[in-house]
Structure 1
């Protein structure tokens, strides 16, 4: 079993135990400061009613994103993490 699938299994178990769905879920990512990366993240959350807040790092090389979005299941949350993980240079917090 890969570290990644282990992480998602633990996350799913934790969400099932601690969260009542539907819920507003907060994603946090750190991305390189490029419009392209921001657009890729934006596209993943497109048409979901997500509220995206961004804050540049002190050096301006990175941007911290906080995304609040209504989710209906642990699986839906994990699918988003998996989509975002395909974008090079993105760190999920």
Structure 2
């Protein structure tokens, strides 16, 4: 499929434009392995993330996990699967 066709498919009849998700802060330390979301990639073109306290983690190619440090005035931009498809991995 050519790049123009991919871009057209991604923008025509899009199932969603934007989705907002709120995760409330955890007040107490959760028990081991009982809290959180398992490792995944984001399907979208990109994800905008704001957080008032550390909590998100990214997995590096080496397999090591890195805690995303930020404050409430920062916006973290994470590249999603669709941008990789649209740019053919470049």
TM-score normalized with structure 2 length: 0.26
Higher RCO structure (Cα 8 Å, ≥6 apart): 1
Q: Which has the higher helix share?
A: 1
Asked which structure has the greater CA Rg, the reply is 2
